[in-house]
Amino acid sequence: MEYSEVRLQFLLGSIFSLCLLAAPADAGQLASWKFDPSRNRLDFKTDAGVQPKAVMLFNPTRLVIDLPGIGFPKPTITQKLTGNFRSLRVGQFDGNTARLVLELQPGYTINPKRVQFTGENPIDWYVTIPVPERGSTTLPTITPKPNLPR
């Protein structure tokens, strides 16, 4: 083999490898979502099975729902809401996780233990959210005791 043939094979192999790395993973997609404020219910559907994960975050108070293995190929969408909820944001959190964020109005909080996920099947889910209550939206602080001589 001549030097130019070896270079060509190396170049073609490199290009093929880069194409494989750039190809998107076979992730499902977030197909639809809808928040019904009269029922405090968030429905969403994916085109592949998912096990949602949720966490409450504060300052501002919001319920964050991650959908591992699910993509959202559009720019982040923000829907303004009324009542005790400020907004619903839908977007891509990282390369493999779509995220839905339900933000509460300032001064309101929900009991995260009362948030209920129901999977009608692996692609159809709804989240029942308790009625927001007026209350502290900050985490408690711990005041250290001074070191006193004994």
Q: pLDDT per residue over 77-136, tens digit each?
A: 999 999 999 999 999 999 999 999 999 999 999 998 999 999 999 999 999 999 999 975
30-77 pLDDT per residue, tens: 999 999 989 999 999 999 999 999 999 999 999 999 999 999 999 999
Closest CA relative to residue 71, chosen from 26, 33, 101, 103: 26
Query: Which pLDDT value is given to residue 147?
Result: 44
Q: Which residue bears the tokens 């219910």?
A: 41
Residue 7 near residue 17 (C-beta atoms within 8 A) = no
Q: What is the pLDDT of residues 5-14, one digit of tens each?
A: 444 454 434 4
Residue 1: the pLDDT is 57
Express the helix, strand and coil content of the chain in percent, nearest 5 each: 15, 45, 40
Taking the C-alpha atoms of residue 65 and residue 71, their distance in angstroms, rounded to an integer, is: 13
From CA 95, how far away is CA 72, in angstroms rounded?
Answer: 9
pLDDT of residue 135: 77
